[in-house]
Amino acid sequence: MTGAGPLRPWGSASWLFRQAAFRDLSWFVIGNISTQDRCLSIFKHCGSLLSLNACACLEIVDCVSKFTEECSRRRDATRAMWEHLVPPSKRELHAFGLTDPIKPVQKLAEGWMGRPQAKNVILDVSAMPERYFFPLLRWLLDSQAIDNLIVTYMLPEKYTSNELAYDAGDWAQLPTFIGNDDDNDGIDRVIVGVGFVPFSLPEWLKKTYLDRNRAEVFLLFPFPSAPANIRRAWEFVRQIEVSLPLKDEDRIVRVAANDLSGCYDRIQLLTKKGARRAVFAPYGPKPHSVAMCLHALRTESEVFYTQPTHHDPEYSTGILMQDGLPAGFAYAIRLNGRNLY
């Protein structure tokens, strides 16, 4: 897309882990204990395809809601299973609230990165909120101690058809992704990952960037995608369009839902490799969000989100299996000390 560049290995997790560059390595896995079964997928690979050196999990607890009890029950179950899968000597667990300050997480991350076991790191974002994995990816990439870094996104059996998240907050920067100035005048591009529920995103876009500026909005539309989801994604676009007419169809940029590398390239094109200042709103699939994060890190861009306070306890259930192993995608971000993005 953007011409010659580094080869960025990615594909199904079980394929990537078998590749020569990775198969003999021992990994430090950073994941989270969640209500979603798929948070365990990566640990189910350990022993067969992955050699686990150690792991650190964050147990991220939603704000109090009508789902609190059910969420707690589900987390108890996944935690018990995780404890069964990973021996005590190799695991550590830290609890945080979904909207807690992020500084304590940074302290933890600094501790992990100072360890010899953490030369090769897998960050599993499958069930991890953007509010946590965006800063974690920043700190991991800041660390020179890490030789290899892989991001994984594992798949569930099914998602709920209920609303996925509730009580979204105001439009705000994700922690550690605030800009270098208080001025929106230089913002040329607002790049939105198309998800299912925009909450009040259109209003915020207009109020924040379009009142006095000429920023252009681009929507990263996950396509190809399952037919049922295309409808929900178009509904997201429609809700944006109602109050924010898109100037032309070029504003909707189609990228396959799991193509992190392609998404990153598209962003590079849209921003002319960062020459055009952009802000990001990661509402779409996680691989798109990771691509946004990587670009934002390179260009010191702001990333905004309307953070929900709680999620449906059955946001996703089950673990999708393929050839007897949990299915999902893995993306090499740093290979032998070289950043691929």
Partner 1 sequence: MIGNPFHDLYLSEAIPEETLVELFSPVIVDYASAMFEPGNVIIRGLQGTGKTMLLNLLRPEARLAFRQSDKARFPVPGSAPRFIGAGINLRKCGALEFVQQLSRDIEPDALRKLELLFADFVNYLIVLDLISTVERFRQSGDRDLLREVGISADVNKLNDFASLLARDPCWFDAMDAVTSLVEFQRSISDRLKSYRRYLNLNINELPPSITETKTIIGDPVLKTAEALRVSGVLDADVKVYIRIDQYEQLPTLNVMGTNYGTRCQELIHKALSARDGRVSYRIGTRTHGWPDRPVIYRTTDVLELKRDFNVIDIDEVFRRRENVRTWAFPNFARDIFSRRLKVAAKSARIPKGDYSIVGVLNASLSPRERAEKYVSTPAGRSAIIETALKSLGTDLPAAWGSYVRKMAPNDLLSAWLTCAWIRQKRTTKKNSPSLGAPPADPIKGEPMGLPWESKPYWYKERVPIGLLQIASQNRQKLMWSGEDDVLSLSGGQILVFLFLLQHVWDAWLRDKRNVLDDDICFPIEHEVQSQGIFEASIEWRSKQIEGLYASQRRTFVDALGKHLYLQLTNDQATSYPGANGISIENSELARSTEVNEFLIHAVGFGDLYGSPHTSKKKGERRTKYYLAPILSPYYRIPSVHTKEPLYIGARNVSQWLQPEEKGDIPSSNPAQATLWGDDV
Q: Which of residues 20-79 bind partner 1 (CB under 8 A)?
A: 65-66
Residue 258 beta carbon to partner 1: minimum distance, rounded to whole angstroms: 6
Angle at CA 104, nearest 5°, toward 102 and 105? 65
Rounded to whole angstroms, the Cα distance separating 338 from 85 reads 32
Identify the DSSP state of 64: S
Residue 142 beta carbon to partner 1: minimum distance, rounded to whole angstroms: 8
Residue 106 as a binder of partner 1 (CB under 8 A): the answer is: yes
Q: What are 148's strand-pairing partners?
A: 120
Residue 188 beta carbon to partner 1: minimum distance, rounded to whole angstroms: 12
Q: Which of residues 243-272 bind partner 1 (CB under 8 A)?
A: 243-245, 247, 257-258
Residue selected from 90, 176, 274, 298 as contacting partner 1 according to rule CB under 8 A:
176
Residue 325 as a binder of partner 1 (CB under 8 A): the answer is: no
Residues in contact with partner 1, counted by CB under 8 A, come to a total of 73
Rounded to whole angstroms, the Cα distance separating 220 from 222 reads 6
Residue selected from 18, 23, 73, 103 as contacting partner 1 according to rule CB under 8 A:
103
Q: Is the four-CA dihedral 164, 74, 154, 305 of positive or negative sign?
A: positive
Residue 100 as a binder of partner 1 (CB under 8 A): the answer is: yes
Residue 212 beta carbon to partner 1: minimum distance, rounded to whole angstroms: 6
Nearer to partner 1, 214 or 336 (CB): 214
In this structure, which amino acid lies at residue 301? Answer: S
Q: Which of residues 201-230 bind partner 1 (CB under 8 A)?
A: 203, 206-208, 210-215, 222, 224-226, 228-229
Q: Is the four-CA dihedral 68, 74, 78, 83 of positive or negative sign?
A: positive
Nearer to partner 1, 83 or 170 (CB): 170
Q: Which of residues 119-148 bind partner 1 (CB under 8 A)?
A: 135
Please answer whether residues 43 and 85 qualify as being in contact, where contact means their C-beta atoms are separated by less than 8 angstroms.
yes
Q: Which residues are within 8 A (CB) of 337 and not within 5 positions of it... i.e. 6 or more apart?
A: 144, 147
Residue 4 as a binder of partner 1 (CB under 8 A): the answer is: no
Residue 282 as a binder of partner 1 (CB under 8 A): the answer is: no
Q: What are 316's strand-pairing partners?
A: 159
Nearest to 59 by CA among 26, 108, 13: 108
Nearer to partner 1, 117 or 317 (CB): 317
Nearer to partner 1, 53 or 302 (CB): 302
Residue selected from 102, 151, 253, 319 as contacting partner 1 according to rule CB under 8 A:
102
Tokens of 329: 């995608």
Other residues' Cβ atoms within 10 Å of the Cβ of residue 43: 22
